[in-house]
């Protein structure tokens, strides 16, 4: 009696564990389907500190160019900047003015740094010519673009790995919960076990051969028995004919 109660207790524990695992898996799946973007951001967070983004505008009159820093900080404040005017001269002012000695196009670069030590660069081709006016703006440098693409690819790769891991975890939880629930129900309501017998082809062929041999012997004995009663009357009839002729 005590063993039966213990078995039922274990069965109840297995059922509770199985139902719990299935419930956790389904609730988590529902939360992911409800807001997949938030779940992805939670699993694969962005960089701890957002980088600054460099930018500037410029206006030229004759060979004189006025520059204006339009950089935006990240999470940290901007600490400094360095202008490279493309003719060997530099400046650290927010809105410098530079006059070129010759007409032409110059590759101007602005690099900004924040208090966290992160940097960003913007570049532009500035064309100057005596007697003309022109304007433009700087674009993110190739270094920043390459870093941004690399960070995006790395985040996507991490995201794919995390998603596959989460899917695998859900599958394992569902399978484990189902197995626990199944064993618990079986323990409460035992199912008759099935007994399977494997027969080798050689033994099966031998049994068939023996059966066919037995049927052949039976058929032969039956044929002999059927012929014996017909042969006996013929012998008797022949004897009666011979007796009649002798008389």
- For the segment 65-77, what is each residue's pLDDT rounded down to a tens digit? 999 999 998 888 8
pTM: 0.46
CA distance linking residue 74 with residue 82, whole number of Å: 18
CA distance linking residue 38 with residue 127, whole number of Å: 46
Burial class (CB in 10 A: 0-12, 13-18, 19+), 168: exposed
Tell me how crowded residue 17 is: count the other CB atoms within 10 A of its CB. 16
Q: Does residue 230 carry a pLDDT above 50?
A: no
Confidence category of residue 59, pLDDT binned at 50, 70, 90: very high
CA 133 to chain centre: 57
Q: How many residues does the chain have?
A: 247
pLDDT for the residue 64: 94
Cβ distance 11 to 188 under 8 Å? yes
């Amino acid at each position: 009696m005590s063993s039966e109660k213990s078995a039922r207790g274990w069965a109840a524990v297995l059922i509770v564990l199985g139902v719990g695992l299935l419930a956790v898996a389904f609730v988590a799946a529902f939360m992911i389907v409800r807001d997949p973007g938030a779940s992805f951001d939670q699993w694969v967070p962005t960089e701890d500190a957002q980088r600054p983004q460099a930018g500037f505008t410029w206006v030229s009159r004759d060979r004189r160019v006025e520059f204006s820093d339009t950089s935006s900080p990240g999470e940290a404040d901007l600490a400094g900047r360095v202008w490279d005017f493309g003719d060997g001269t530099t400046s650290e002012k927010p809105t410098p003015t530079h006059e070129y000695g010759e007409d032409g196009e110059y590759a101007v670069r602005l690099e900004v740094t924040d208090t966290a030590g992160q940097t960003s660069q913007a570049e532009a081709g500035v064309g100057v010519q005596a007697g003309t006016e022109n304007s433009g703006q700087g674009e993110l440098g190739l270094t920043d673009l390459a870093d941004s693409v690399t960070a995006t690819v790395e985040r996507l790769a991490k995201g794919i790995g995390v998603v596959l891991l989460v899917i695998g975890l859900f599958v394992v939880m569902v399978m484990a919960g189902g197995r626990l629930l199944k064993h618990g129900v079986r323990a409460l309501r035992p199912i008759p076990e099935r007994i399977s017998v494997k027969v080798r082809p050689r033994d099966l062929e031998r049994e068939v051969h023996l059966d066919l041999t037995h049927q052949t012997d039976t058929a032969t004995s039956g044929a002999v028995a059927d012929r014996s009663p017909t042969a006996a009357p013929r012998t008797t009839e022949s004897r009666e004919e011979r007796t009649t002729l002798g008389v």
